[in-house]
Structure 1
Amino acid sequence: MIQRSLTQLFAVLLGFMLFVPASQAQTAQTKQAHVVILATGGTIAGTGATSTTTVGYTAAKVGVEGLIKAVPELSKVARVTGEQVFQIASESMTNEHWLTLAKRVNTLLAQADVDGIVITHGTDTLEETAYFLNLVVKSRKPVVLVGAMRPSTAISADGPINLYNAVLLAASPEAVGKGVLVCLNDQINGARDVTKTNTATMDTFKSTDLGLLGYIQGSKAYFYRASTRKHTVDTEFDVSNLSALPAVDIVYGYANVTPVALNAFVAAGDKGIIHAGTGDGSLAAQMVPALKAARAKGAIIVRASRTGTGILARNGEANDDELDFVVADTLNAQKARILLMLALTKTSNTKDIQRMFWTY
């Protein structure tokens, strides 16, 4: 009897030892990442008059719950919740929208039960919002921006599969620490280098100079490279106490350019000017006196290029050391504007600002 009791006790203990780890393992296997979708509007939330309407549609009509409901497959890759942050077409995105969005992203990512963020966004300024967040998000957790080139009502609308892929990516351990990502058309691009290159086609987002980061295929993220530039938790920028950003505008270079726009921006109180020059950021002879005058009044001048690719050579087409100008490195004009605004929240020293352009 004693032997049988000991045998029973051993069986109970063994069962308990086996049961607990197995239960924990099962829980670990079935627990899904929690991804929060922050909706801001755009074509992905747009509607058209007919199923063949792919131009002339109305953006920002479908709410976040409608976007989630339209893709029931999301439940297979993550536990998804949603918030409607804005409901606008992205050409109307402002600095104030960016600050509100960044603060909400940082608040959510600071929560232990949030594993990643997806932001639905219009494609027109998606690259700008992505780069702004790439500089100010203070977490290594994935942040993925996604949009669509066709409204939700169109035949073969790209929004649903793009949203599915974005949530999959935001829930993926492989995306941790990669910076803010842009995910459309089964491709993964980095926020710093990607730009919209076509008015209407679904393959519009490209990192022309340096290449995409990877692909989504078979419900899995595949990364092939990562950006070497500092981002997110490794930047010096903090928007937590900012209610506004310094005024910075873009002046475009072209044949027969005049300084009228530049002078108007400076007169309006701009703290910085991005000069999107021809070629390697060339300065037309008639622009140089106005640019010098703007710098003398305290405005920071950053030379960029309208070409869209290539490194902007310092002291190449202009004597930047003598003029006390900054060059944009490989950033396009719209992203150079973002970095300059954030740089001006820290310093007005051109040497330090140039360091930031080489760093981010």
Structure 2
Amino acid sequence: MTAKANIVVIGTGGTIAGQGKASVNTSTYMCSVLGIDEILGSIPHAGELANLRAEQLLQTGSENFNNAHLLAIGKRVAELLARNDVDGVVITHGTDTIEETAYFLHLTLKSAKPVVVVGSMRPPSAMSSDAALNLYDALAVATHPSSRGLGTLVVANNEIHTARDVVKSNSFKLDAFRSPYGALGYVIEGAPRYYRRPARVHTLDTPWSIDTLRSLPKVDIVYAYGALEPGAISAIAANARGLIYVGTGNGNVASHLIDPLRDAVRRGVHVVRASRTGSGIVLHNGAQPDDEYGWLTVDDQIPQKARILLTLALTQTDDTAALQAFFERY
């Protein structure tokens, strides 16, 4: 008989740790009140999948997570993955920023062992909650040999997503998570089935290691709209090393906003054009003469993940061409 895998489950709070007053409360509830031991204890047969060990690292909604939280999660996961008696890690997490934490881990962990981030759209107390099944599926993915070497994964609604692509696309529905190129696979009856692999490099093949990161540079996001004034851009960019400009369409920039964005570059801020459409490619030197202005473009990455990537890239270089290459590689 094959020995069961040893999996550590890290609790950080979120809806998956929430509690409503009644079972009909699917969207109104107290967030981050259940401990990870209590959550695991409510899932039948979880212990049949693996030898489980739980620890509570954080207990708050993921809307509160900042760079310090990302570093704390990453460093603890790396410590666990380095142990010979740990085969994989599952992180329970609020869904609000699950894609950002997962992408950060995807780029900075130096291990082929499975790391799965999981949350739920409904608290465990709600009717038809997805909390128990999502966590069970995440455990099933983390224990399976086919999950090795795929980077950080996000499991939700029976689907397995790569951290690089997944995004939360709905505020309340169970099928809230999408990847523009589709899921990597599915979890059926407690077993993962994969149909594709991540196309972009990750984990062992990136230049970043969570072990050497002590702090992260400040990168901000500004969202374009019809009445956005130049002063707003200048104020947001004032104390940042990087700025993700979330433009309309193909990352378009209104004529009255070109000068403040170019001024930001002159002050040493790296400006990256993204799109508020939520999908598609922002073409370099397409809608704007990016090379002439010293601007970067996100390729196909969504703004919040572009912030994560630029934050990491700026720990390596300030060279504009090198930074652009990061967006086209990762």
TM-score (norm. length: structure 2):
0.98
The match for 1:289 is: 259
Displacement over 4 Å in runs of 4+: none
Output aligned runs, 1:257-296, within 5 Å: 257-267=228-238, 269-296=239-266
Aligned to 1:320: 290
AA in 1 matched with 2:125: T
Partner secondary structure for residue 72 of structure 1 = coil
1:214 to 185, 191, 201: 185
Question: Does the CA contact (< 8 Å) of 1:77 and 1:167 recur in 2?
Answer: yes
After superposition, the C-alpha distances for 1:117-141 in whole angstroms (9 at most, x for unaligned) are 1000000000111101100011010
- Residue 13 of structure 1 aligns with which residue? none
Q: Does 1:224 align with 2:195?
A: yes
Matches within 5 A, 1:11-90: 29-90=1-62
Separation (CA, whole Å) in 2 of partners of 1:149 and 1:206: 14
For residues 175 and 134 of structure 1, what CA distance do their matches in structure 2 show?
Answer: 13
How far apart are the structure 2 equivalents of 1:167 and 1:261?
45
Q: Secondary structure at the match of 1:294?
A: helix
Say whether residues 1:123 and 2:95 are aligned partners: yes
The answer on whether the counterparts of 2:220 and 2:237 sit within 8 Å (CA) in structure 1 is no
- Alpha-carbon distance in structure 2 between the residues aligned to 1:215 and 1:205: 13
Alignment-mate amino acid for residue 112 of structure 1? N
| 2:141 paired with 1:169 | yes
1:85-125 Cα deviation digits (max 9, x unpaired)? 10001111111000010011111001111111100000000
- Match of residue 182 from structure 1: 154
The match for 1:242 among 213, 227, 250 is 213
Relative to its length, the structure with more helix (as a share) is 1
Structure 1 unmatched runs, 5+: 1-28
Query: Superposition pairs for residues 281-360 of structure 1, below 5 Å?
Result: 281-360=251-330
User: Which residue in the other structure is 2:71 paired with?
Assistant: 99
**Residue type matched to 1:306 in 2?**
R
1:109 and 1:141 in contact (8 A); partners too? yes
SS of residue in 1 equivalent to 2:212:
coil
C-alpha displacement of 1:304:
0.6
Which secondary structure does the structure 1 equivalent of 2:45 belong to?
Answer: helix
Query: Which range moved further: 70-79 or 126-135?
Result: 70-79
SS at match of 1:283: coil
Which is higher, the Rg of structure 1 or of structure 2? 1
Once residues 109 and 322 of structure 1 are traced to their aligned partners in structure 2, the CA distance between those partners, rounded to angstroms, is 44
Contact map agreement 1:257 1:284 (CA 8 A) in 2: no
* Paired residue type of 1:82: A
> Could you tell me how far apart the structure 2 residues matched to 1:235 and 1:206 are?
24
The aligned residue for residue 8 of structure 1 is none
Residue in structure 2 matched with residue 251 of structure 1 by the alignment:
222
Structure 2 counterpart SS, 1:152: coil
Q: CA deviation at 1:260?
A: 2.8
Number of paired residues?
330
Calculate percent identity across the aligned residue pairs.
46
Contact 1:38–1:118 (Cα < 8 Å) also in 2: yes
